[in-house]
Chain A
Amino acid sequence: MHDVAIDAPPLASEAPSGPAAASEDFQIVPLAGLPIVAVVLALLIVGIAVNKLWPLTFLHVVGGAAWTIIDLFLGFVLGPIIGKMSIPARIEFTKRLMPKMVLIMPTVVTVTLAAGWQLGVYTGTVDSGNPLHGWVVASYIVVGIMAVIALGLLEPANIAVLVELKKPRPNPAVIEKLMKRFIYTAGATGLMQIATLVIMTKLASS
């Protein structure tokens, strides 16, 4: 792989079909990352199978921390920066960031939720008679809303941007529209993550 300059296209509104852009080839799903994902999922299955406090806490906290930080960082730090970049710079950045997100986010979310459920079973907080159960149900609701936003809007936009970028002549208008969707939904899930932090710190300190 090598860097190739992309001709600066006009604004999307002025050019529905961008100029020919010598695009650097990339993988929508980085194959080199798949073994890492497989190892993480294997660790998750082992963690659930052994059903001990430390592995479950480790997987849930590491996964949850990564999920929260990525959402907050994307929504409130990287998002505004990307919004101010020129379109060619945005395209270059997107090509490098988004394929990694295709692997990282589903893995992190699956590990957090599955280990979290098992941890709740182990500690008894998923039991409806537990005094902390109300907080756990609140976390289900917050995570449920985040899941609908992430799976219904964010991830399809992510993949569609990458497919568009694979074309010999990517359309800047399509990329801009989809990237806006990606950044806004990342911001929305970032806000929801603040609620998650409140709930999880309350659970951890009770």
Chain B
Amino acid sequence: MTSLALIVAGGIYLAAHLPEHVSLAPAIALLAASALLLATNLVLLARVPGFAWDRFFDIAKWALLAYVIIAGTIEYAFLRNHLKGGALVVLTLSLVVFAVHVPVLIGFTVARFYDP
């Protein structure tokens, strides 16, 4: 949740300042913190004994497909408006983290409550 909030905050920060020149440092810091938290969550998850990985991947793969489509649509809107340079890179990477993060959350919730 915190990781997702960080990525959303970075997106809001950039969107609020466009199209004028904006310092990318806060957005990069938020993106890095979000990616780091996501990676930490995955590492911690991998250490949980008896975690229902089958259920996790069953659900997460389809959710990933759906969120790649959603992120792709948003990316298209950025490209359509000729967004470029550092802002485009940071927003694209933010979308990548978003598209991975939500399926992880969905897969985790399903696997956590799964009791065959």
Contact with B along A155-189 (1 / 0, CB 8 A): 11101100110010001001001100000000000
B108 nearest CB neighbor, chain A only:
A156
Main secondary structure of the interface of B (DSSP, over half): helix
Interface status of A141 (Cβ within 8 A of chain B): yes
How many chain B residues have a CB neighbour from A under 8 Å? 37
Let me know if A144 and B9 touch, CB within 8 A: yes
Cβ-defined contact, B59 with A159, below 8 A? yes
Cα of A177 to Cα of B109 in the assembled complex, Å? 12
Say yes or no for B40: interface residue by CB 8 A criterion.
no
User: Which residues does chain B contribute within 8 Å of A174, judged by CB atoms?
Assistant: 113, 115
Grouping DSSP codes into helix (H, G, I), strand (E, B) and loop, the A interface class, with mixed when no group exceeds half, is: helix
Q: Give the residue name and chain of the B residue nearest to A117 (CB).
A: B77
Which residues, 1 to 36 on B, are CB-close (under 8 Å) to A? 1, 4-5, 8-9, 11-12, 15-20
23 intermolecular pairs with C-beta atoms under 8 Å apart: A41-B73, A48-B80, A49-B80, A113-B74, A118-B81, A126-B19, A128-B19, A140-B15, A144-B9, A148-B4, A148-B8, A152-B1, A152-B102, A155-B106, A156-B105, A156-B110, A157-B109, A159-B109, A159-B110, A160-B109, A160-B112, A160-B113, A163-B55
